[in-house]
Structure 1
Amino acid sequence: MTENASPPIVQRAAGFADRIAVVAENGTLTYADLLDASARVAAALLDGRPSLDGARVAFLTPPGWEYVAVQWGVWRAGGVAVPLAVSHPEVELEYVVRDADAEAVIVHAEFSDVLRPVAERAERRFLSVEDALAAAPVPMPDVAADGAAMIIYTSGTTGRPKGVVSTHANLRAQVTTLVDAWGWTADDRTLLILPLHHVHGIVNVLCCAMWAGAVCEVLPRFDADETWRTIESGRLTLLMAVPTVYRRLITAFDAADEQRRERMAAGCRGMRLMVSGSAALPVQMLERWREISGHTLLERYGMTEIGMALSNPLHGERRPGSVGVPLPSVDTRVVDDEGVPVDAGTPGDLEIRGPSVFGEYWRRPEATAEAFRDGWFRSGDVAVVEDGYYRLLGRRSVDIIKTGGFKVSALEIEEVLREHPSIGECAVVGMEDEEWGERVCVAVEAAGAEGVPPLAELQAWARQRLAPYKLPRDLRVVDALPRNAMGKVMKPEVAKFFAQR
């Protein structure tokens, strides 16, 4: 086999061989260690074949070095990585495995009991991470830059999540843009506290750190006290999180004694950059965090489909309430309903194009076609340009809710809740919330005289069917949902039930 074109991030790793790459609960690995581990995973997946030739591989591991080894191993074998969410119930995991038409499912021992039945029902190859890491390395295939690298599932207005297909070239563009814009170097040390089935954690933190040759410390899950302890150590140079995380860090800071607060603040001031994204950052929270840390959080804007598109500057004015200016290599525009660019100061639909933009929704050509206009990706967000900076005004669709940094579909949640025997009909809306950005609220018509169970009981039932961040956090039982003359539920009227608190 000829010398191969390795996935770009793997090529980069070879230049940082002896440097520490990942520090996790179960071990510290260098870049050389990750290259060896990922080669073994690739060999196990290939199982004697020359290449996976674009076959999808779904994988589920807790945050840590095994995640990197599996992700890189899938790429090195010529496959498409489909990361699964550790927080998702079995039914959602099975949906992704089947929809992606995954050839194999590779799973950490912690999740074997959940994924093995899924793999068996779907008749997919099941492989444990532990067995994969024991394989002997073999020659690796060539990996084309324009070949698919990853499918991340994201909720949309059509209800069930859609698979966003990103190529190796897309990922390279997304990562290099952020490395340049945010000044990543091999001397950086970051903390990963974000989910690894979401572009924020995968690209903005993990892939950027690995591309730069930096150190990525990993917590198995977000914990405010443990996060503060890491910040207090003075080891970190940058932190990326969502507003919900910053709110919880603020709460923990306020609850600490004066001596610890001094250590917390000192740890923050020793860092060079703190970033907030995936949901709107309340100005009040930005100001409180600045009082605590000395940092003005850098707000940015992105989506699974495009990576990051807009960012406040690393050096220069960071405007509260603004998501900044277009990143290098990214073109953005604000247009009217006909796709004609509007003047600055006039709200319109935000559209994006550039090498970081995805090419398709997995096996959904109609949805893909609808997502683009003349080569521009239609974000679904309404924005306005003010003095050169972009400010977001909200979603075009009321059926998209941004909660805790995640984008979820109201329609998907409604479909699940309608399966409950006590629910005749329901409507889900997102309401502004200081902690979550938006909280998931449901208005319900009872199916019978028995009535609807209380919220806690409904949440317990839904937890077996929905990810935790999709669970309703507010419930109203109504005689009848508000509808228009065509019988369509009027979501703005539904929202009024929850505004009257």
Structure 2
Amino acid sequence: TNKPKGVVSTHKTIAAQITTLLDAWQWSENDAIPLFLPVHHIHGIINILSCGLWGGATVDLFGKFDMPEICAKVAAKRYNVFMAVPTIYVKLLQFFDTLTKDEVEKITAGFRAMRLNISGSAACPVKLFEQWQALTDQVLLERYGMTEIGMGLSNPYVGERRAGHVGQALPGVDAQLFDEAHTPILEENIPGEIRIKGDNVFLEYWNNETATKESFIDGWFCTGDVAVLDKGYFRIMGRSSVDIIKSGGYKLSALEIEGTLLTHDDIAEVAVIGVEDETWGESVSAFVVLKPNKTLTYVDLKGWCDGKMSGYKIPKALHVVDSLPRNAMGKVTKPALKALAS
């Protein structure tokens, strides 16, 4: 969203990021996993490659996400751990629609035989979580992290994994929500910024003393991400800069609105942003990719939303597009959508 900042990590930092996942996700030398995600990103370099090698596991390297080849190896039960971004899981479901019933059964049997499927780097829609479980019997483990901290929060390996939630603090990590006055939030369902402490936290931003100072308050790293505590689990509301829409005195979660819109039968993909508005401060605007041979008007969408979400959350504008702009990790680049909307 802004000019990239170099993150300075130490051997101690990286070791902490790896060992907490070895513990939490129970890595062993018996594990085998494909790596098709970019290794310039924490998901590929730490969660898969570094954890796999540290734990003595087998890591198969791919230059890109080769759908047929990877699915063939899954069907052959080559892997028992699988990690991907939500977009990959969506593309897998779409790929299955092009195959015969027997071909799909062989691949999904391979996924069913795995011990762990993980989704991360972007929010996993509840609908996708449920679709994947229905097809593969795998309950996706969703987690939360970033380059500066590795992983900070995770649903449990053993225990309840909740759709739409990123779990609790990992071993050795302290996580706390704070309000805008920097006061800890102790009540549930009150939005606040996630702040992190622990050996997993980076040292500083490279040659950027100002950014480093601005990112730490009383020893806590300020992530810029907003969440609530929901029955002891963190639920991400979004990035404060792009996913929290300030409209008419309300702070709306774009991710929450997106999750509801994805349950519409004609919508394949969606991204919600806030657009500058003289009356409301910001108004809700939805960009959607429709399923093949489907149409959708704003009037139809507004009528569908009535009763499914509060009136102030209903999009004030609808943009039907062929595709959503995404980065290398499959995450929607919302600043590009803001430029289109303006």
TM range (shorter): 0.7 to 0.9
**Map of 1:310 onto structure 2:** 153
**Residue identity in the other structure for 1:246:** Y
Query: Does the 8 Å contact 1:178/1:208 carry over to 2?
Result: yes
Q: CA deviation at 1:474?
A: 11
Counterpart residue number, 2:205: 361
**Among candidates 206, 214, 225, match of residue 381 of structure 1:** 225
Quick one: which of 210, 214, 226 aligns to 1:370?
A: 214
Residue among 8, 20, 25 paired with 1:182: 25
Residue 100 (structure 2) aligns with: 257
1:69-468 pair list within 5 angstroms: 159-342=2-185, 343-398=187-242
Indicate the SS of the match to 2:45.
helix
Change (3 A) 1:474 1:161: closer
Residue 470 of structure 1 deviates from its aligned partner by: 9.2
> What displacement does 1:471 show?
9.8
Root-mean-square deviation (CA, aligned residues, Å) is 3.1
Supply the AA of the counterpart residue of 2:22: V
Scaled by the length of structure 1, the TM-score of the pair is 0.50
CA deviation after TM superposition for structure 1 residue 253, in Å: 1.2
How many angstroms does 1:398 deviate by? 2.4
Q: Any idea what SS the aligned residue of 2:43 has?
A: helix
Mapped to 2, the partners of 1:290 and 1:470 lie a distance apart of 22
Residue 56 of structure 2 aligns with an amino acid whose one-letter code is G
CA shift, 1:291, in A, is 1.5
Which structure 2 residue ranges, 5 or more long, are not aligned? 245-253, 256-272, 274-283, 291-320
Distance 1:311 1:432, change over 3 A: farther
1:379 aligned counterpart, secondary structure: strand
**CA deviation digits over 1:112-159, x for unaligned, max 9?**
xxxxxxxxxxxxxxxxxxxxxxxxxxxxxxxxxxxxxxxxxxxx5xx3
- Once the 2 structures are TM-superposed, how far is the Cα of residue 299 of structure 1 from its aligned partner? 0.2
In 2: Cα distance, 1:469 partner to 1:233 partner: 27
- The higher relative CO (CA closer than 8 Å, separation ≥ 6) is in 2
More helix by share: 1
- Give the distance between the partners of 1:331 and 1:468, measured in 2 at CA: 27
1-structure distance, mates of 2:191, 2:334? 31
Q: Which amino acid aligns with 2:16?
A: A
- 1:290 corresponds to which letter in structure 2? Q
Q: Is the 8 A contact 1:265 1:292 kept in 2?
A: yes
Instruction: Provide the rounded CA distance (Å) in 1 between the counterparts of 2:199 and 2:85.
Output: 25
Superposition deviation, residue 431 in structure 1: 6.0
> For structure 1, which runs of at least 5 residues remain unmatched after alignment?
1-155, 403-409, 411-428, 436-454, 460-465, 477-490
Q: Matches of 2:289 and 2:209 in 1, distance apart?
A: 38
For residue 313 of structure 2, what is the aligned residue in structure 1?
A: none
Q: Offset of 1:233 from its aligned partner?
A: 1.2
Please say if residues 122 and 331 of structure 2, whose CA atoms lie closer than 8 Å, have aligned partners that are also in contact. no
Residue type of the alignment partner of 2:142: E
8 Å Cα contact 2:85/2:329 also seen in 1: no
Tell me the SS of whatever aligns to 2:6: strand
Q: Say which SS state the counterpart of residue 9 (structure 2) adopts.
A: strand
- Offset at residue 170 of structure 1 (A): 0.5
Spell out, residue by residue over 1:4-45, the C-alpha distance to the aligned partner (whole angstroms, 9 max, x if none). Answer: xxxxxxxxxxxxxxxxxxxxxxxxxxxxxxxxxxxxxxxxxx
Does structure 2 conserve the Cα–Cα contact (< 8 Å) formed by 1:349 and 1:383? yes
User: 2:249 matched to which residue of 1?
Assistant: none
Change (3 A) 1:209 1:430: farther
Report what 1:445 is aligned to: none
CA contact (8 A) 2:37 2:329 kept: no
The CA distance in 2 between the partners of 1:277 and 1:181, in whole Å, is 15
Amino acid in structure 2 at the alignment position of 1:345: N
Residue in structure 2 matched with residue 34 of structure 1 by the alignment: none
Give the conservation status (yes or no) of the 8 Å contact 2:121–2:331.
no
Q: 1 CA distance for matches of 2:69 and 2:110?
A: 13
Read off the aligned partner of 1:276 and give its amino acid letter: S
AA aligned opposite 2:192: G
Mapped contact 1:330–1:356 kept (Cα < 8 A): yes
Cα distance in 2 for partners of 1:196, 1:190 equals 14
The one-letter amino acid of 1:331's match is: D
Larger of the two Rg values belongs to structure? 1
- 1:282–1:434 contact (8 Å) kept in structure 2: no
Q: Measured at CA, do residues 471 and 276 of structure 1 come closer, stay the same or move farther in structure 2, by a change above 3 Å?
A: closer
* Secondary structure of 1:390's aligned partner: strand
